Amino acid sequence: MNDVPMHTPFKASRRFDRSFHAAALLLFIGLICMALVGCGGDDEDASSTDASTTDTSTVADADDATTTSAESDAAGASADATTTVETGDAAANDGSTTTQSKLDQGSSTTAASTASTAADGADGSGCTPGEGPLGDGRWFGFVEGADDEEIQFDVACWFSGTAAAQAAAEDGEESPPPNDYYVRNDTTLTRPVPVAAGATVTWLPQPGNPTAETIAYADWDADRDDREFNPGAWVTVEDGAVTYIEEQYTP
């Protein structure tokens, strides 16, 4: 009779233990893998969050930089505008000062030191005042008559320097003229000009003597009828009335 191998209970138990251990090991490995995968996901999420935060911070910084740059540009533009206005203001003030200086020179009481040239080339306010009452300015001419209230004034042209040489040449006279001045008086028209209260006159008491004296208009008017000569004079008109007369000395 053949012997039939028999599996003993001990051997079966050993096979079961090996299977259980293998299954447990696989389960343990699976749990470890799941744990590792979970941690990796958390790390990726954290990295993603950090990256998002970084991007947001970068955008915010860029916006802040843009705003700061814009504000700086605006401030710079404002400063430039202010400088331009101030510069414009300073230029305007300089022009006014220059104009006033010229006006002051034109209305000065010293003929020799204040020769300003008019559009017609003559000194002072020129010699072409137009028709009607004599306007404000400083005019050269001859006082043909005077009383307490007004003068009768014949406007003439006083040229000096280059203008004197040109005017003399135009009139067929010696050019350049002697003593660097030339007088042209080609009209006999006289204009009545009121005399302001308090008007004064710088006059030449003696012919040929450049020494001048300043006196009240009334005193000058009282003495002028007895004089043997009638020099030309610079007449200052303000608000339509004579305020000052300065007789012109000529060698």
Give pLDDT tens digits for 78-110. Answer: 444 333 333 334 333 343 333 333 333 333 334
CA–CA gap between residue 1 and residue 40 (Å, rounded): 66
Q: Cβ–Cβ contacts within 10 Å for residue 199, how many?
A: 21
Query: What mean pLDDT, rounded, does the chain reach?
Result: 73
List pLDDT tens digits, range 167-207: 999 999 999 999 999 999 998 899 999 999 999 999 999 98
Q: What pLDDT, on a 0 to 100 scale, did the predictor assign at position 14? A: 52
Q: What pLDDT, on a 0 to 100 scale, did the predictor assign at position 38? A: 55
Q: Give the residue from 159, 153, 155 showing the smallest Cα distance to 173.
A: 159
Q: What are phi and psi of 216, to 5 degrees?
A: -70, 150
Q: Cβ–Cβ contacts within 10 Å for residue 182, how many?
A: 26
Q: Under 8 Å CB-to-CB from 166, ≥6 apart: which residues?
A: 121, 159, 175
The residue ranges of every structural domain in the chain are 63-106, 137-159+187-247
The pTM (predicted TM-score) of the whole model is: 0.56
